[in-house]
Amino acid sequence: LQIHSAEFVTSAVAPEGYPPGDHPEVAFAGRSNVGKSSLINCLLGRKKLVRTSRTPGRTQTLNFFLINESFYFVDLPGYGYAKVPQKIREQWGPMIERYLTTRRRLSGVVHIMDLRHPPTTDDLLLWNWLREMGIPAVPVLTKADKVSRGNRARHLRDASQRLGIEPREAVVFSAVTREGWQALWERLMPWIGY
């Protein structure tokens, strides 16, 4: 897939602020600091399109990016970071739920988790909720470069078991080595009409 344009469109916290829903859309969700923004940059081959940070909880709005003038990527704020003020944490649920349940052209969610650790309670909450709502989701286990070859299979198996999926349903990914790039695009193409 050739990416010839990728541009930030807008940030929003509520439907009034969403851009016109005239293109298929893919949302990226996951725990704070798990590597959502890095994954988007990696997929698009743009180093700095989306701001990344060592400090968790930086992204606190829905950030819309228009790609190839034909589909949207949406970087969602991360969940599960204790240091984010209580007030903001309370807003996360309704803000995300509203977006995920009302956005007409949302094709699916890339649910990003960390291959190094088993899915957290928050990860499982979102994963199971997406399933209950019937929202298509691809589980991505990122930071694979941080897990030794010898431990890969075990980490993948444990995560899959917790998520209630077959290991082959998950995409193992690394924004550093670009492992999983092709596999993830292959899952996203039907969602965005390619």
Q: What are phi and psi of 40, to 5 degrees?
A: -65, -45
Applying CB under 5 A, does 37 fall inside the site for Mg ion? yes
Binding partner selected for residue 180 from ligand GTP, Mg ion, none, CB under the kind-specific 5 to 8 Å limit: none
Is residue 59 at the binding interface for Mg ion, with CB under 5 A as the rule?
yes
Looking from the CA of 65 toward its CB, the CA atoms found within 13 Å total: 23
Which candidate, 148, 150, 138, 151, places its Cα nearest to that of 180? Answer: 138
CA distance 138 to 142: 12
User: Residue by residue, what is the 3-state secondary structure of 43-57?
Assistant: HHCCCCCCCCCCCCC
Residue 63 is a binding residue for ligand GTP (CB under 6 A): no
23 binds, among ligand GTP, Mg ion, none (CB under 5 to 8 A by kind): none
Q: Which of Mg ion, ligand GTP, none does residue 38 bind (CB under 5 to 8 Å by kind)? A: ligand GTP
Tell me the residue nearest to ligand GTP as measured from the CB.
78
Q: Which of 6, 24, 35, 80 binds ligand GTP (CB under 6 A)?
A: 35
Q: Is there a contact between 26 and 107 (Cβ–Cβ < 8 Å)?
A: yes
Binding site for Mg ion (CB under 5 A): 36-37, 59
Binding site for ligand GTP (CB under 6 A): 30, 32-38, 52-54, 56-59, 78, 142-143, 145-146, 174-176
